[in-house]
Structure 1
Amino acid sequence: MADYFEVTFIHQGYSKLYPEGMSLLEIIRAENIPYSILCNGEGTCGKCRVRLVNQLTVPTTAEQSHLSQADLAHGYRLACQTRLTAPLELELPEVFGQTGASAILHEGLLEINALDPFWGQITVDRPAVLSWKSVAFKLDGNLIPSIEALQELAQLQPKSLPDQPKLTLEYFQNRIIHVRQETAELAQSHPKLGVAVDIGTTTLAAYLVDLQQGCIRRTASAYNPQAQYGADVISRIQYASTPETLLQLHQVLITAINQLLFEMVKAEEIPLDDIIQLNLVGNSCMAHLVMKVNPTGLGQVPFEPVFKELLEFNPAKLGIKMNSQARAFLLPGIGGFVGSDISAGILACRLTPSRRELFIDIGTNCEMVLSGFGKMLGCSTAAGPAFEGATIACGMLARPGAITDIVLDPQAVKVMTIQDGAPEGICGTGLIRIMVALLHKGIIAESGGFAPELSHPFFDRVAQRFYLVRSDFHPIYLTQQDIRQFQLAKGAIRCGIELLLKHLALSAGELEIIYLAGAFGTYLNPADAIFLGLLPPVPLEKIRAVGNTAGTGAVLSLLSQSTLKDLASRVRDIEHVELADDPDFTEAFTSALVFDTNLQTD
């Protein structure tokens, strides 16, 4: 029988017994502590740093590879490599939300053209006889009563006043869901609300929407707790291959959505029962996981989702808590990895086939849609999570302490960080600025390698690292491998752009506008993107940051049933392009890897 040892979670403030031999990663997952596990415990990313306060273990080969000698001496280990052999005090320095939340983007385009939600209410004169037949006689259209509506109708007080009060009937689609006698109290009751949720690979953003007024009442956000099973969609597809692991990913996501709903209604001091509709958007993998559908097909040729259609369902069947008569919609996807978050982006930006426009959403992955000449094409690119700090040796999410910019001089490096915090690592936009600075100074050559004749006190030629912060305890640096990861990411995006343009026989100069969506696109300097070759050379005024279009598109679909139905029809006409099948793919991708330091931006 295995011995049990006490594990004390210092930041969380409690202790618990766990069996000998269990890995710290397994313990963290068992406690449902949101934690960034980028490689799903394979020991290859080095991101699951923990600190053992009272008990040091012998470092493994992976730990010696990813952690400095100073880190190891201070008790840092990798959670996936360390097993419980004695009582332990555990410090989790990179737990999501503990060291300061990163900027999870809610803002985006929100121009409401139509306000015709599925929910509404009708006021009618109270009939002398309280039966559904007599009520229905006063209604226009074919409205069907719910069981709850009939029960409420039967409980109304008989006529007792000379002036008969009116009845207020709430409906959703073609169902009468509530029947109430009009009173002063009813007139002051809360309006029905809807919720839109953008399910991102890294973050979740929720919007509480007033369906009567057509406005956002409150927002809430959180990290996607599935990150503890892998940073990117491929890792999660692989992890979800069994019914048990699929259920794990599904349940942590549903729990997180419920927490967001509760947070918003608590702040508004209203009941969950006031939420009558839920609209969800997400990439194809997230759509499968929220519906508890195995996404394995997305990870195998021909990379087809099980479904991409508009889905309507009872949220209670997934364990989502709101009004018992609520309905939920998962917006339609386009194909492959191009999911409903991109469909929502098309809605928010009002892309039409008649205008020459390019929509790009850069997140943990990158998807884009090109319109023009009466057509719309969509594709996804294997950009990977480098732009969110993953796969970068000292990478991190955009939270306090993340390096966002640098200033180089011949003998030193000055770093700027979010909220002027002590430097902790490099976020995605910081990586962009660092690459621009190093290329401008000739520290990185056009091929992407460190310049052969480079001489700088912050450059370690043997280790092939350029230090941004020199420290025995917590150095921060850019490696040659980091540069290659950046090149692969930017090359994939630029390759996708060029091949879509080729399919429509368009040049970049003919584009009327380029929309940059998502948090990374919002904070990306367009001139930097062009200089690095991530975007084609176009006038800067043609590039527009549009924020979280996935979230705002989901809100628009909440407020208008005609808009939602029209979107479902429009996305069926979008042609999904599989880039790897294009005969010019290899040449386009290879060309996009290099840097052109002579490029000028307008």
Structure 2
Amino acid sequence: MAEIRIRQTGQVIRCEAGAGLLNTLLDAGVFVDNPCSGKGICGKCKVRILSGEVSAMSETEEKLLKPEEIRTGIRLSCLTEVMGDITVELLQKERKHEVLTKGYMPAFEKDPYDGGYGIVIDIGTTTVVTALIDLASGKELANASMINAQKHYGLDVLTRITYEYEHPESGIQELQAAIVHSINAMIGEACMEASVDRNAIREIDVAANCTMMHMLLGVDARSIGKSPYRPKFTEAQKLLAVDIGIEAAADTRLYCLPQVSAYIGADIVAGAYVCELQKEKGNVLFIDIGTNGEIVLASQGRLLCCSCAAGPALEGMNISSGMRAAEGAIEDVRITEQGIELKTIGEQEPAGICGSGILAVVKELLRTGIVKKTGVFVKKEKLEEDDYRYPYIRLNGTKREFILHENPELLVTQGDVRQVQLAKGAILSGFVALLNKAGIRMEDLDKVMIAGQFGAHLPAESLVGTGILPEEVGDKLIYVGNSSKTGAYMSLMSATVKKEVEELACRMEYMELAETENYERIFTESMIFPTF
């Protein structure tokens, strides 16, 4: 056996000699950021080994760490094994995250209730939101939110599905246990705040993407991750909450909203219902921007939908200085001749760049000509030394980088710009493909409705400035907030809404982008950034 002592807290963790450091820390409840789920790709699970014996450093680790980090004992915990007693210094702290809990709600007729309480839950890949509802009045009494505990198994749905493949005996149960444990904690928190007995909860309604819904119910999600990408179920699920381990009364009902396909889940069906796309007579585009970009086009009574893999860059991941939308994250940037102006969440000292921040800085790099429409940095030697942009660009070998902040050093690399460019290409190409399928033009759109946690923090200036959305719709954007949670609330309060949501899911036509005519050309053209 070996012991790991945490310098900051004095906590002692025991493990087998040869155990992986990252997993040992995570299993003990110690926060270590690991966006790539321990794959040795992101380089963000750094700790400092102050003393003791660990495994030798691999070539991969040497490439991801800077020479000065290696000299001071910093290691990547995912690539480090504990060989004997060690003392570890943690280099990160878990920060308070911003989680969106509100959204637009249309008028609807609620069912009469004689008392009791309900719970609505929105399960996202990144965040989970729970609200306690007084059924008689329809009033929200309390809410709770947290980062999805499944983050330890991967930051995106495909990484979590891969975990099920890699751990066929236990993966499904582990992923279900993680989310159920989080839900129990949030229900307990909300009930405590409102002084409500959780046994008085009569129904729990859940909206989630398709993968999260499978993992909540303990259903094998592996078929979602490989061709032909078919989920085990899409219809609404009705069961008892206790059947999956949710702590409530023995007769508390659990209702999971319906889905359309592997990548158009109940969260998008809920959003489409909340935005009343089924009633629209004109041309309306609904888009939920996150790790995936899910898009629904309502045109002349027809509902077309698609999903595009935007990747985690737009949520601050896969970015060299990226982080989630937490305190200290840069969320807005302005590059001027007088210097770089930064706005951070909570007005804290800059700690990294979140999704809205990386879009803002890329928009500014394009506006100032530091990055060209092809996504390539301008050559430093092409600038005069007295050009205000000159000191912000530096060479790292043959690669160019933009120095956003010096202490701590926060960079925007060519790879970061490329990640944003790929996300932009994915979302815009989906947008264009749907319009082509419906036979309408950009200028024919009456409005574009932006939903979701991430979308709520994106000004039109960044969306249009980076070309994620075309200039023609810049003045037609409507932000609807957390429409997934709102849809779950409406279904909780009305049996009619449940019926109509299920009918809506059946009406939505899913379009597979990869099978769309000329999609590769559309995607390539959508990759080009706008010019200023």
Q: Give the TM-score category using the shorter length.
A: over 0.9
CA contact (8 A) 2:291 2:309 kept: no
CA contact (8 A) 1:312 1:328 kept: yes
For 2:456, what is the secondary structure of its paired residue?
Answer: helix
**Change beyond 3 A, Cα 1:35–1:334:** farther
Write the distance in 2 (CA, Å) between the matches of 1:448 and 1:196. 42
2:387 maps to none
Write the distance in 2 (CA, Å) between the matches of 1:334 and 1:102. 30
Cα deviation for residue 411 of structure 1 reads 7.8
Write the distance in 2 (CA, Å) between the matches of 1:99 and 1:379. 35
Q: Which structure has the larger Rg over C-alpha atoms?
A: 1
Write the distance in 1 (CA, Å) between the matches of 2:100 and 2:337. 37
Cα deviation for residue 80 of structure 1 reads 0.6
2:88 maps to 90
For 1:404, what is the secondary structure of its paired residue?
Answer: strand
**Change beyond 3 A, Cα 1:93–1:445:** same
Task: Note if 1:418 corresponds to 2:342.
Answer: no
2:144 maps to 220
1:533 maps to 467
Write the distance in 2 (CA, Å) between the matches of 1:482 and 1:90. 30
Deviation per CA, 1:336-356: give whole Å up to 9, x if none: 211000011112212125331
CA contact (8 A) 2:445 2:473 kept: no
Cα deviation for residue 568 of structure 1 reads 0.4
Of 375, 388, 403 in structure 1, the residue corresponding to residue 315 of structure 2 is 388
**Change beyond 3 A, Cα 1:364–1:240:** same
| Higher mean C-alpha displacement, 23-32 vs 584-593 | 23-32
**What is the root-mean-square deviation of aligned Cα atoms in Å?**
1.9
Write the distance in 1 (CA, Å) between the matches of 2:71 and 2:325. 28
Deviation per CA, 1:209-248: give whole Å up to 9, x if none: 1111011111100111111111111111111121311111
For 1:80, what is the secondary structure of its paired residue?
Answer: helix
Cα deviation for residue 441 of structure 1 reads 1.0
1:8 maps to 5
Of 199, 205, 209 in structure 2, the residue corresponding to residue 283 of structure 1 is 209
Cα deviation for residue 250 of structure 1 reads 0.9
Identity of aligned residues (%): 32
**Change beyond 3 A, Cα 1:539–1:297:** closer
Q: Amino acid of the residue matched to residue 143 of structure 2?
A: T
1:49 maps to 46
Pairing of 1:192-591 with structure 2 (within 5 A)? 192-241=116-165, 242-352=168-278, 354-409=281-336, 412-452=339-379, 453-455=381-383, 456-461=390-395, 462=397, 463-471=399-407, 474-591=408-525
CA contact (8 A) 1:334 1:378 kept: no
1:37 maps to 34
1:183 maps to none
Write the distance in 2 (CA, Å) between the matches of 1:52 and 1:543. 50
CA contact (8 A) 1:508 1:537 kept: no
Write the distance in 2 (CA, Å) between the matches of 1:12 and 1:274. 39
CA contact (8 A) 2:464 2:474 kept: no
CA contact (8 A) 1:272 1:323 kept: yes
The unaligned stretches of length 5 or more in structure 2 are: 384-389
2:99 maps to 104
**Change beyond 3 A, Cα 1:324–1:589:** same
Cα deviation for residue 300 of structure 1 reads 1.2
**Change beyond 3 A, Cα 1:12–1:378:** farther
**Change beyond 3 A, Cα 1:533–1:409:** closer
Cα deviation for residue 409 of structure 1 reads 4.2
CA contact (8 A) 1:365 1:381 kept: yes
Write the distance in 1 (CA, Å) between the matches of 2:423 and 2:405. 25
1:188 maps to none
Write the distance in 2 (CA, Å) between the matches of 1:244 and 1:347. 36
Cα deviation for residue 50 of structure 1 reads 2.5
Deviation per CA, 1:561-583: give whole Å up to 9, x if none: 11011110111011011000002
Q: Amino acid of the residue matched to residue 269 of structure 1?
A: S
Task: Note if 1:116 corresponds to 2:111.
Answer: yes
For 2:472, what is the secondary structure of its paired residue?
Answer: coil
Q: Amino acid of the residue matched to residue 406 of structure 2?
A: R
Cα deviation for residue 414 of structure 1 reads 4.0
Q: Amino acid of the residue matched to residue 285 of structure 2?
A: L
Q: TM-score, normalised by structure 1?
A: 0.83
**Change beyond 3 A, Cα 1:33–1:317:** farther
Write the distance in 2 (CA, Å) between the matches of 1:70 and 1:422. 23
Cα deviation for residue 380 of structure 1 reads 0.6
Cα deviation for residue 67 of structure 1 reads 2.6
Write the distance in 1 (CA, Å) between the matches of 2:213 and 2:43. 29
**Change beyond 3 A, Cα 1:33–1:272:** farther
**Change beyond 3 A, Cα 1:454–1:72:** farther
For 2:170, what is the secondary structure of its paired residue?
Answer: helix
CA contact (8 A) 2:209 2:265 kept: yes
For 1:84, what is the secondary structure of its paired residue?
Answer: strand
Q: Amino acid of the residue matched to residue 292 of structure 2?
A: N
Write the distance in 1 (CA, Å) between the matches of 2:350 and 2:57. 25
**Change beyond 3 A, Cα 1:33–1:322:** farther
Write the distance in 1 (CA, Å) between the matches of 2:473 and 2:219. 44
CA contact (8 A) 2:304 2:511 kept: yes
Deviation per CA, 1:80-139: give whole Å up to 9, x if none: 111112323334444xxx44211111010133411116xx34xxxxxxxxxxxxxxxxxx
Q: Amino acid of the residue matched to residue 402 of structure 2?
A: F
Deviation per CA, 1:173-220: give whole Å up to 9, x if none: xxxxxxxxxxxxxxxxxx411111111101111111111101111110
Of 55, 77, 93 in structure 2, the residue corresponding to residue 79 of structure 1 is 77
**Change beyond 3 A, Cα 1:91–1:194:** farther
Write the distance in 2 (CA, Å) between the matches of 1:319 and 1:454. 62
Cα deviation for residue 33 of structure 1 reads 4.5
For 2:417, what is the secondary structure of its paired residue?
Answer: helix
| Higher mean C-alpha displacement, 374-383 vs 539-548 | 539-548
For 2:152, what is the secondary structure of its paired residue?
Answer: helix
CA contact (8 A) 1:56 1:75 kept: no
CA contact (8 A) 2:334 2:340 kept: yes
Pairing of 1:131-150 with structure 2 (within 5 A)? none
CA contact (8 A) 1:198 1:551 kept: yes
Cα deviation for residue 558 of structure 1 reads 0.7
Deviation per CA, 1:526-550: give whole Å up to 9, x if none: 1221121101223543101111111
Write the distance in 2 (CA, Å) between the matches of 1:56 and 1:71. 18
Write the distance in 2 (CA, Å) between the matches of 1:454 and 1:221. 49
List 4+ stretches of structure 1 deviating above 4 A: 10-13, 32-35, 55-58, 409-412
For 1:332, what is the secondary structure of its paired residue?
Answer: coil
The unaligned stretches of length 5 or more in structure 1 are: 122-190
Write the distance in 1 (CA, Å) between the matches of 2:528 and 2:267. 30
Cα deviation for residue 34 of structure 1 reads 5.6
| Higher mean C-alpha displacement, 519-528 vs 412-421 | 412-421
| Higher mean C-alpha displacement, 461-470 vs 217-226 | 461-470
Q: Amino acid of the residue matched to residue 487 of structure 2?
A: G
| Higher mean C-alpha displacement, 342-351 vs 36-45 | 36-45
Q: TM-score, normalised by structure 2?
A: 0.93
